[in-house]
Amino acid sequence: MIVQPFNHLQKMASLKEIRTRISSVKTTRQVTSAMKMVSAAKLKKAQDAILQIRPYADKLHEILSSISSSLENSDESVYTQQREPEKVLIILVSSNRGLCGAFNTNIAKTAYELALTKYNRQLKSGQLGFLIVGKQGEKYLKLKKMPVVGQANDLLDLLTFEQTSKLATNLMADFEEQKYDRVELVYNEFKNAAVQIPTAEQFLPVAMQNEEDESTSHFDFIYEPTKEQIVEELIPRSLKIQLYRALLDSNAAEQGARMTAMHKATDNATDLIKDLTLTFNKARQAAITNEILEVTNGAEALNG
């Protein structure tokens, strides 16, 4: 007589817990669905921006490589001087916010492994530093006790060419003053909404095309002003565009990763609600059956 009421109360408590959990998951699904729609809207704008700048950036680099490869001394510019990389700076571009799947973890791991493998000697000697663009990447590297020498997280709040140019100008000045011998750029390249490619490329010094490279056709142009003056003016502009393109790539990749992550989260929440509803109905049916049995047993006992 004591056990039956206890089981009954226990089942009622279990039903209440399932009902509360269903309500909680529904609220979560509303949030993830809203975030998915916001990311989809931002992705369209970010995707348009990166697709518009890519042809310009590629053509600018092609012109620069074509002209510089025909120069007698391509190392005349301070930004093309190949020095022994004793002091290295790695620029890590991540995001300021999470909830975008493995977007931040993958790119932070790429930068971390780059430091451990390619620049392990500089890391051990204290000649390696990280410049962070994105709070999530900063958290990861500080957790790994990596040397973070600066951050430019505000760039992601208002991503403009003017703000990016200031950072690129500072980096060029540091390289010119030999504060760093090499600057690496690590970011997520945007392919589509579901695919982001972790990319590590050399930012400084500028890698020029070899004269033996036959991929670019050379024509006998008449240059005004001289080739040297054109190259000297194009290199800083190309570096600014390269950095801006990397940030736009990362921004589009972030929105795509977040939209995909929120889409999966919404689908998972829907599946979980179905499972919980089924469990709730089964438990409720079992509780009703037990109550009927208790009433029937009680009636039989009275009749007996």
CA nearest neighbour of 153 among 218, 220, 94, 227: 94
Q: Is the peptide bond before 236 cis (omega within 30 degrees of 0)?
A: no
CA nearest neighbour of 69 among 205, 231, 241: 231
Catalytic residue among 18, 35, 46, 100: 100
CA distance 3 to 6: 5
Catalytic status, residue 100: yes
CA nearest neighbour of 250 among 179, 200, 304: 200
Question: Which residues pair with residue 150 across a beta bridge?
Answer: 131
CB atoms within 10 A of CB 37: 11
Q: How far is CA 83 from the centre of its chain?
A: 31
The radius of gyration computed from the CA coordinates of the chain, to the nearest angstrom, equals: 30
CA nearest neighbour of 204 among 133, 131, 141, 146: 131
CA distance 106 to 198: 7
User: Which residues does the annotation mark as catalytic?
Assistant: 100
